[in-house]
Amino acid sequence: MLAGLEQMLKYGTEEQRQKWLPQMASGEQLGAVCITEPFAGSDAANVMTTAVKDGDEWVIDGKKRYITGGGVSDRYFIYAKTSEDPSDRKQYSHITSFLVEKGLPGFHLERVNPLVGFDNVPNTYLSFNNVRIPDENRIGAVGKGWNVMMSGLNFERLIAGAVYVGVIKDIIKLLFYYSKRRVQFRRSTNQFPGIQNEIAEIIAKYRMGRVFAYNCAKQLDDGQEPMINASIAKWFISEYVRDAGLRAVQVMGGDGLTKFYPAERIVREGKIGEIVAGTTEVQKMIIYRFASMLPESNEPMRFRWSEEVNAPLLSKKESQFKGLEINEENILKVIAHDYKVNPGLYMTPDDVRQDIGGSRSAIRKTFESLEEKKLIVTNRDRDGKIALVKATYDGTKKAFPDDYYRWFPDWYKDEDKF
């Protein structure tokens, strides 16, 4: 019912919203979101379904798979390739989104998957053979389908988390009901500490998941794109529900495994949650990628040698090398000094510049000559640009005497030093 809602709210024109939103809100017709294809799973950008413009129409060709609600839905929110240009592909501007309605010539249901769970909704393959749709069914600009997809997925991941919070709440009610009424060893099973522990674990996860899902929903309501939090909500809460389902089966013993009670179903549904709308591994990739771009992950932070305490400390102090002339000797000193502070680490060019000052290009040229002389080693990015530098053993020797790098704790005996 909600399929395509967020996409329509964010990217639909006024006319499109007037046409489609009342239908979505009434729930009279179901909708499906169609990203996945035989070629495009976790790599959702690799769609092979094409949309080619022909006058005022688009001609759609290709296949989609794993589509929830296929067949029974009237509205299909699809993503298709509209550019073969490699530079568009590189910038994720090769995809456009469209709404395809059931009943169009060439649009068929190809197959229905029997699944481990989601018992109440068909999981399907769809086939598009020269399906013609009007340009007014294009949602968002041509080439902007990736952005439309991402905002739809943020919403879907939050919804998945929120639905599962409700499922966990149901498990808790079921387990209180059940364990108060099941008697073994002349006591109701809820009196056993082991059973109480299991239920307490589920309650804690339910409450954590609930707070997190509401927090993420607030971000969406405030008009933000909560990439990181939607991924966390989906990842954690689907894990919680699978875990809660397994615990529920354990608390209920044999009864938990029968289909007369819902515990076994919850395990199956929870496992699906770890795959649908992007696997847990993909959520972790998103969290890392987007968090790595946040200012809070990149706050300038340096360990500096403190003579006072004779140890490296996190510090905002300026480096002792600041303002020195940019030449091989001084740059090598900066880099070799870092061996004393962070023996196992490289420095970024920005670290070096922060320490000594001067122009980026002068520093880069000096890196190159120091590298040629084998006084430093560099680590380069894909374009061959120097990304990290570190002094070689010869470099550390040339920059400072051996004693400069020696360090022992107070309790270490002098006679054992050599």
Ligand X SMILES: Cc1cc2nc3c(=O)[nH]c(=O)nc-3n(C[C@H](O)[C@H](O)[C@H](O)COP(=O)(O)OP(=O)(O)OC[C@H]3O[C@@H](n4cnc5c(N)ncnc54)[C@H](O)[C@@H]3O)c2cc1C
| List of residues contacting ligand X (CB under 6 A) | 32-36, 41-42, 66-68, 115, 118, 123, 272, 275-279, 281-282, 285
- Minimum Å gap between C-beta 33 and ligand X is 5
User: Alpha helices of 274-388 — where are they, by DSSP H?
Assistant: 280-292, 328-341, 349-356, 360-372
Query: Between the CA of residue 406 and those of 18, 131, 313, 343, what are the distances in Å?
Result: 74, 74, 17, 11
19 by Cβ neighbours in 10 Å (0-12 / 13-18 / 19+) ranks as: middle
- How far is it, in rounded angstroms, from Cα 213 to Cα 240? 13
DSSP character string of 106-139 = TEEEEEEE--SS-TTS-EEEEEEEEEEEEGGGEE
Q: Tell me the Ramachandran region of residue 85: left when phi exceeds 0, alpha when psi lies from -120 to 50, beta otherwise.
A: beta
| Residue that is written with structure tokens 């639909």 in the block | 12
Q: Which residue, 32 or 347, is less far from ligand X as judged by CB?
A: 32
- Minimum Å gap between C-beta 44 and ligand X is 7
Record the tokens describing residue 95, joined without a space: 């995809």
CA atoms within 13 A on the CB side of 408: 10
- Minimum Å gap between C-beta 22 and ligand X is 23
Q: Which residue, 32 or 174, is less far from ligand X as judged by CB?
A: 32
CA angle (278, 281, 284) in 5-degree steps:
95
Taking CB atoms, the residue at the shortest distance from ligand X is 41
Q: Which residue, 54 or 119, is less far from ligand X as judged by CB?
A: 119
Q: Which residue, 136 or 281, is less far from ligand X as judged by CB?
A: 281
User: Of 102, 126, 101, which Cα lies nearest the Cα of 112?
Assistant: 126
- Minimum Å gap between C-beta 121 and ligand X is 9
Q: Which residue, 164 or 178, is less far from ligand X as judged by CB?
A: 164
- Minimum Å gap between C-beta 30 and ligand X is 11
- Minimum Å gap between C-beta 140 and ligand X is 17
Record the tokens describing residue 332, joined without a space: 């090598």
Q: Which residue, 234 or 337, is less far from ligand X as judged by CB?
A: 234
β-strands 57-68, 123-134 pairing: antiparallel
- Minimum Å gap between C-beta 73 and ligand X is 10
Q: Which residue, 256 or 278, is less far from ligand X as judged by CB?
A: 278
